Structures are given as C-alpha cells and as structure tokens.
Structure 1
Amino acid sequence: MRVTVFGASGAVGRLVVQQLLDDGHEVTALVRTPGKLTLGHSCLTVITGQLSDCDAVERVVSGADAVISALGPSLKRSTTGSQVTDGTRTIVQVMEKQQVTRFIGLATPSLADPHDKPHWKHKVLPVMAGLMFPNALAELKGMTEAVTRSDLDYTIARITNPTDKPATGRIRSGFLGHDKVGSAMSRADIAAFLVSQLTDPRYRRAMPAISN
C-alpha cells in the first residue's frame, strides 16, 4: 500500500514510518527538517516542505492509498496561532481533490465521540488542558473538526498519556463509558494501532480512545 505520513519526524511519526516500512508499505513523508527523520529505506520518499505549502502537500498525497497524520500541537504555553489546524485543513482539501479518502490521525479524549457515554474524562481533561495548554486544545479541536466535518473515511485515535516505554503489543480500544480503556500507552503501540487501521474497518468515521 502507498501511504503518506505527516508528522513523520515526530516521536510517534518516526515509529509510524518504521512500522509501515517493516510491513512492506511504500511511504512518502512531508517533513520540514529532513535531518530529523534519520530513517533510510528504498521504499521511503522524503519530501521537504511546509504544511502551509499546498503544492508540497499535493506532491506527497498524489497517488496515495491512505494518509496517516501523526501531527499534534506544541504543548509550550508560549505557542500561539493555528498552524496545525490550518495544515490539517490543507491536507483534507488536497485529499478530497486527489480523491484519497482514507485518513488516520490522532486526538485526545478531551474531545468526545458520539459513541461515548458520559465519562469523567469529558469533564476533567478539557478543564485541565484549557488551563495548562489552551492553544494546544484549540488546535486539537480545530484539526479534528477539519477532518470529522469532511467526507473523508477517517479514524482518529484519542490518546491521553503517551510514554516512551517499549511496545507491549497489548492495545485496548473503544469508546468512553462503554469499554475499559486506560490512559497510558507507549508511542510504539500508538504507532502500531495507527498502522493497523489501514486494514481494520471497525472504527471507520469514529474516534476510538486507545491505551495499553
């Protein structure tokens, strides 16, 4: 499968790229700083560009079977603006233009899915995030709405506490109030879940919460 990856030089994104290559996929990645993506592989194409560059986004999306976005906002309180939201809107517009329908991305349980039942995370996490990371929360809302309000065939995995622990292979997924999903999850297992959604139809046009 030909897969385009955004956020490929980030902590989760690098693991997504490696997992895709290990599974035999062809990968095209858009990165702002190529030196941060140190992987080398005959099935990996790295294109330098910004999310704000529509032509660059078109180059990496063209011919893809699916897009995986490991993009996320900065957690620095000094960060302002809507770069990630605007970039995600560009990705969605280009995907619709190129007729690439499958989108897999990340968000947070601060944002509810219609399948959820009332849960403490819906009350506590938005308040905490709004106080500690107000711009990041606004960005997460914006980038998620850009996808969910589109006609794309999306799966957005909601994560709470990513860690750098080794992969466990134990992944819980589901909807708050229905399924036993915790908070902590290794980034390696997050990457594995995102890649698994290329062929798993369970969460089409849904936002499952995931954890170890």
Structure 2
Amino acid sequence: MKLLIFGASGATGQALVSAALANGHAVTAFVRTPGKLALSHENLTVIVGDVADQQAVERAVAGHEAVFSCLGVGVPLKHDPAVVAGIGFIIAAMQKCGPARLIYLSFLGVRDSRRQLGPLLGGVIVPLVLHREVADHEAKENLIVQSGLDWTIVRPPKLTNGAAAGQFRHGNGIRAVSLLPTLARADVAAFMLGQINDTTYSRMAVAILR
C-alpha cells in the first residue's frame, strides 16, 4: 500500500517508517527537517514540509491509501498550536481527496484512559507535568473524532527506544501493571501498522500496554 507518515523523522515515526518498508509498503515520509530521518530505501519518498502549511499537506495527502500521524510537540511539555492546526489540515485534505483511513498516535493519559496508567503516572505525573501535551492530544483527538474519517487513535504509555518485545496487550479495559509503564516504539509501530486493514478499532481509541 501507499502510506503517508507525518512526523516521520521523530523516534516513533522512524520506527513506523522502518516497519512499513520491511513489510513491503511504499512509504512517503513528511518531515520538516530531512536530516533527522536516518533512513533510505527504494520504496521511501521524502517530502519536506510543515504541517502548518495547508497547501503542502494537501499536496502530500493526495494519492495515498492510508495516513499515519506520529507528530509530536515542538518543545516538550509545551502547547504546540501549529501541530493542532496541522491535524486539522490533514483531516481537511483527507476529506477532500482521500484516503479515509487515519491512524493517530496519541498518549495513554488522555481523557478516560488516564486511569489505565495507574496512580503515579495517571494520578500525579500527567496532571502536574504533562497537562499541556495532554491538552493538545485531546484537542487533536476531538478533531479526528468529528472528522467522519475511518480513524483509529492509538494510546500507548511512555515510549522507549528498546527492542520490540513482540508481546503487548491492547483494548479499552486494560490497565498498567507497573508504576511507570513503558512500551518500545517498535512495538507501537508494529501495532499501528497492523491497523491499516483491521476494523477492530475502527473509529475507536485503543490503549496499548505490556
């Protein structure tokens, strides 16, 4: 399939690009800083642009079969209105010229899923430290839910750069079993990629935990 990945130069974005290429997909990586994308492949196309540029986003979306967002904030722990606006531009472009399938990387700390993180991360760290980033995720999720697209929102805990374990849980009733739950980006990438044609979580937000 022809896949478009926004935020492809970030750590999770690169894991997703690598996984998609390994599975034989044609991948377009939308990046603001191409030097951060330490990947090359015959099936990889790199588009340099800014998600805050509506026309650039629309040009990138056209012709793809599924869209992924691994967009993060520009400055950790801060609001990033440009990225929130960018999600709106992605949605508008998809509504105009397709495709319908959108898979968005969020965080297990958003909305009702916060309780699944446990008392330390969900009850203390998220509301006191991560509240700005969570608020941005909630704003972006609102746009996605109201879009009419065929979306899936993926909510992992804190991400790590470790090797994929290949074993994780997913669903809406699962809870963390450790005080500070983590999950490898490679596992999250594999799960996100598996959602392309899987309708289990169509128009749903899903938690993913070890």
- Tell me the distance in 2 between the aligned counterparts of 1:200 and 1:51: 27
Percent identity, aligned pairs only, is 37
1:107: which partner in 2? Answer: 106
* Maintained 8 Å contact 2:152/2:204: yes
Which of 133, 145, 149 in structure 1 is aligned with 2:142? 145
| Alignment deviations for residues 53-103 of structure 1 (CA, whole Å, 9 cap, x no partner) | 1121112210110001111235634x3441221111111111111121100
Structure 2 equivalent of residue 179 of structure 1 = 174
Shift of 1:179: 3.4
Whether 1:198 and 2:185 are equivalent positions in the alignment is: no
In 1, are the aligned partners of 2:110 and 2:134 still within 8 Å (CA)?
A: no
Match of 2:207 among 183, 206, 209: 209
Matches of 2:73 and 2:162, distance apart in 1: 22
1:26 maps to 26
- Alignment partners' CA distance in 1, 2:95 and 2:118: 31
Distance 1:23 1:101, change over 3 A: same
Gaps of 5+ in 1: none
User: Within 2, Cα distance between the matches of 1:141 and 1:89?
Assistant: 13
How much does 1:131 deviate?
1.8
CA contact (8 A) 2:74 2:80 kept: no
In 1, Cα distance between equivalents of 2:18 and 2:26: 11
- 2:68: which partner in 1? 68
Q: Tell me the CA shift for residue 147 of structure 1.
A: 0.6
SS in structure 1 of the partner of residue 204 of structure 2: coil
Alignment of 1:111-130 (within 5 A): 111-112=110-111, 119=115, 121=117, 125=122, 128-130=125-127
- Which residue pairs with 1:35 in the alignment? 35
Q: Distance in 1 between matches of 2:70 and 2:123?
A: 21
Q: Does the 8 Å CA contact 1:2/1:26 hold for their aligned counterparts? A: yes
Indicate if the aligned counterparts of 1:172 and 1:181 stay in contact, CA closer than 8 A: no
Give the superposition deviation at 1:24. Answer: 0.6
1:122–1:149 distance in 2 versus 1, CA, 3 Å: farther
Please state if 1:167 is matched with 2:151. no
Instruction: Flag the 1:122–1:64 CA change in 2: closer, same or farther, 3 A.
Output: farther
Counterpart code for 1:154 = W
Secondary structure, counterpart of 1:207 in structure 2: strand
* Shift in alpha-carbon separation, 1:7–1:153, aligned structure 2, 3 A: same
The alpha-carbon deviation at position 135 of structure 1 amounts to 2.2
Instruction: State whether residues 110 and 125 of structure 1, in contact with CA within 8 Å, keep that contact through their aligned partners in structure 2.
Output: yes
Task: Kindly tell me the number of residue pairs found equivalent between the two proteins.
Answer: 206
Equivalent position amino acid for 1:10 in 2: G
Deviation at 1:121, TM superposition (A): 4.1
What letter matches 2:149 in structure 1? L
Pairs within 5 Å for 1:78-89? 79-89=78-88
2:205 is paired with a residue whose SS is coil
Cα distance in structure 2, aligned partners of 1:193 and 1:49? 26
CA contact (8 A) 2:64 2:98 kept: no
Counterpart residue type for residue 103 of structure 2: I
Q: Summarize the Cα distance change of 1:186–1:53 in structure 2 as closer, same or farther, 3 Å threshold.
A: same
Shift of 1:148: 1.0
Structure 1 pair 211/46, CA: closer, same or farther in 2 (3 Å)? same
